[in-house]
Amino acid sequence: MIRAIVTDIEGTTSDIQFVHNVLFPYARQHLAAFVRDNQTDEKVVAALNAVREESAAPQASLDDLIATLIGFIDEDRKSPGLKALQGMIWRAGYVEGQFTGHLYPDVLPAFERWKQQGIALYVYSSGSVPAQKLLFGYSDEGDLTSLFSGYFDTAVGAKRETQSYHNIAEHIGLAPSSLLFLSDIHQELDAAAQAGWHTLQLIRGEADNASRHHQVNDFSQINPESI
């Protein structure tokens, strides 16, 4: 019996194009000014130090770090330091109404149905927890944050590593066999399945013939009671 559903964001609840054509360019455009203006902020300092460590450049200047971060954005690197900064930068875009968090139309009705069935909802994304809360807090469908019991980012581990799913199960306090992970990326689902989770793959666009996971095209095709 499924007692909690953990969902990925990009390619699962939300269009990859929104992330790549709206969020990433916005962060790219505002990154240098944001970092310079907020270079003494505790969270910015921590993120920049994480980038120094990740890029093995302990003496990197602010200009060096900005160039590194732009490179990370362009290669879609799931860098925790970059992801933390992106979340901080996106806040202004959401709050000023420059964009809303994209949601496929099948997502909210499914979340509401699952909640009514007594299933707890969680998010696991490479985007930072504050970035996840912004996307769902300023979504196309309004503020959905009250639907979620918790959020996970790469602080629990990378999405393709089995240990991350053991860690999440421990945080949630439920057996892996009662957890369902939804993602568009079969390598993430492989890791979750290895940890004993149920898995479903969202195919929002191109087919994935290399996957061994059950596939659906949208959330209306998911019935946790039949898993």
Ligand X SMILES: CSCCC(=O)C(=O)COP(=O)(O)O
Report what 19 binds from Mg ion, ligand X, none; CB cut-off 5-8 Å by kind. ligand X
d(CA 16, CA 111): 20
Least gap, CB of 100 to ligand X (angstroms): 12
Q: Give the binding range for Mg ion (CB under 5 A) out of 4-12, 141-149, 204-212, 216-224.
A: 4-12
118, with CB counted inside 10 A (0-12, 13-18, 19+), is exposed
- Indicate which single residue of 4, 6, 8, 164 sits in contact with Mg ion (rule: CB under 5 A): 8
Name 120's Cβ contacts closer than 8 Å, sequence gap at least 6.
Answer: 3, 4, 5, 149, 172
d(CA 89, CA 26): 8
Q: Give the binding range for ligand X (CB under 6 A) out of 29-37, 66-74, 125-133, 216-224.
A: 125-133
In the complex with ligand X, the residue whose CB is nearer, 175 or 200, is 200
Least gap, CB of 186 to Mg ion (angstroms): 11
In the complex with ligand X, the residue whose CB is nearer, 136 or 175, is 136
In the complex with Mg ion, the residue whose CB is nearer, 48 or 131, is 131
Q: Where do the DSSP E strands lie in 57-147?
A: 120-124
d(CA 107, CA 8): 12
Residue 12: C-alpha distances to residues 19, 41, 107, 182 (Å): 12, 33, 9, 7
Cβ proximity of 121 and 115 under 8 Å? yes
Site string for Mg ion, 145-184 (x = CB under 5 A): ---------------------------------------x
Report what 135 binds from Mg ion, ligand X, none; CB cut-off 5-8 Å by kind. ligand X
In the complex with ligand X, the residue whose CB is nearer, 180 or 223, is 180
Name 16's Cβ contacts closer than 8 Å, sequence gap at least 6.
Answer: 10, 184, 204, 205
Least gap, CB of 147 to ligand X (angstroms): 16
Tell me if 23 contacts ligand X by CB under 6 A: yes
Q: Where do the DSSP E strands lie in 82-133?
A: 120-124
Q: Give the binding range for ligand X (CB under 6 A) out of 53-61, 63-71, 122-130, 199-207.
A: 122-130
- Give bridge partners of residue 202 from the DSSP assignment: 216
For binding to Mg ion (CB under 5 A), which residues are involved?
A: 8, 10-11, 184
Which chain residues interact with ligand X by CB under 6 A?
8-11, 19, 23, 78, 83, 86, 125-127, 131-132, 135, 159
